[in-house]
Amino acid sequence: MKDSQTGYSIAMVAACPFPANHGSAASIREMSDTLSEMGHDVHIVTYPTGQDEIRVRRAKVHRTAPFQPETNAKVGPSPEKFLFDFQLLRLLCRVIRRERIDIIHAHNYEGALVGIMAKWITGRPLLYNAVNLMADELAGYRFIRPAWIAHGLARALDWFTPIFPDHITAVSPELKDWFIEHGVRAGKVDMVPAGIEPELFDNPTPEKFRQQYQINGRPVVMYTGVLNAFQRVDYLLRAFAIALQTQPDALLLMVSPLVSESHEKELKQLAAELGISPAIIWIAPHALEDLPSYLALADVTVVPRPECPGHPVKLLNYMLAGKAIVSFAGGAKGVRHLHDAFIVPNHDYEALGRGIVTLLNDRTLAAELGANARATVLADFDWRQICRKIERIYDQLLGVSPAHFRALNEPGAPAAAER
């Protein structure tokens, strides 16, 4: 039981390897630790797998089985995850009862589905953190064949999942608008973006990688992230081929936290067909602690995903690193053209290539965009600010006014389990 000066007791549902050096797993860890530092009792309910070199600072982690270190987590659906999800539901219900959980906070589709069932069983309110739409991603995982079945299932999940949570947070305005346009009551959904930890990029050490990969002063274009088909890395390769026509000494560094042999093989084949293979360095996997050092090498960073209702975490990393960014409009969340990014029309990889060339040629503009990008991310995407918004949603779900919540945290106030 919590003492009288703690905040809410929260069950974070992370239906994924955790912790891990990519996307949602990183956001869940950073959000949970920030909420813990704000005085809330956060319990992360997750799979047995994860990366043991990544530290969870304050939140408590509950696993469906003893921890199994995993260096190369699989992104997307897989047969073993169905068993994990059944075990996750059982564990979540136990944690809710044992820890006297006030709120279920579920992330992504599998987490939301597990959270919905736990809500029905335990009666606890459910907050769903939506980061994507299945229609944009499910077929790209190539788990369900043929593709038309994956598309049909994706549309069904996009319709079904938002019905049952008590509240939804969407990580981008586009995703919030999609929910409202498809029947979700406007008062039920808020836009709450992913965030950053400002300290992450304070001490990069790029020289070790500069020497390792023999960059030797060549201009560096960089992509960081997974290589799944929905990321449209093929567009980046075609754009880089255009950039090489005017910047023949440029290098493209493909820095991925995970090894994906099938996707990498396809992309390397495309690079060979384009005649650009000698100018590309493929790096995978990399440790989270090395990401700032890799990004410190970059002259231009790229977001090549056009359809992106969510918020690319790589974009936030580029911004925090103070790097010049070229992005399709669909991936350019929270940034403006020629203020803190160079934004081009969706699917126009020739324009993407011209944007890369522009920033490689105009180092003054590149430096200005990078500095503005860092200022934007520090002002708008600090987890400490974002978690205050989440805290207010918790207040609403539990029927507690902010003033009442502060009073509950005074010495002598009843613990949340007694409220």
CB half-sphere exposure, 34, CA atoms < 13 A: 23
Beta bridge partners of 10: 42, 103
**Distance, CA of 229 to CA of 225 (rounded, Å):** 12
| Helical pair 23-37 and 313-320, crossing angle rounded to 10 deg | 70
CA pair distance 32, 321, nearest whole angstrom? 23
Q: What is the pLDDT of residue 95?
A: 98
**The pLDDT of residue 149:** 61
**Domains and their CATH numbers in the chain:** 9-195+382-412 (3.40.50.2000), 198-379 (3.40.50.2000)
CA distance linking residue 283 with residue 209, whole number of Å: 11
Largest CA distance in the chain: 71
CB-based contacts of 8, cutoff 8 Å, min separation 6: 40, 41, 102, 103, 394, 398, 416
Q: Which of 307, 305, 306, 310 is nearest to 172 (CA)?
A: 310
Tell me the pLDDT of the chain (419 aa) as tens digits: 343 345 999 999 999 889 987 778 889 999 999 999 999 999 999 999 988 888 899 999 999 999 988 765 565 556 666 778 899 999 999 999 999 999 999 998 889 999 999 999 999 999 999 988 766 654 455 554 566 466 666 677 888 889 999 999 999 899 999 999 999 999 999 999 999 988 888 889 999 899 999 998 899 999 999 898 889 999 999 999 999 999 999 999 999 988 888 889 999 999 999 999 999 999 998 888 899 999 999 999 999 999 887 788 899 999 999 999 999 999 999 999 999 999 999 999 999 999 999 999 999 999 999 999 999 999 999 999 999 999 999 999 999 754 444 444 444 444 443 33
- The predicted structure's pLDDT at residue 146: 64
For residue 178, how many other CB atoms are within 10 A of its CB?
19
Beta-carbon contacts of residue 35 (< 8 Å; ≥ 6 apart) = 7, 10, 42, 59, 387, 390, 391
Distance, CA of 296 to CA of 268 (rounded, Å): 25
Put residue 245 in one of left, alpha, beta given phi > 0 → left and psi -120 to 50 → alpha: alpha
Nearest-angstrom CA–CA distance, 352 and 330? 13
- Say which residues have a Cβ less than 8 Å from residue 280's Cβ, sequence separation at least 6: 237, 240, 251, 252, 253, 254, 271
The angle at the Cα of 31, spanning 106 to 203, to the nearest 5 degrees, equals: 145
According to DSSP, the β-strands at 68-69 and 126-130 are unpaired
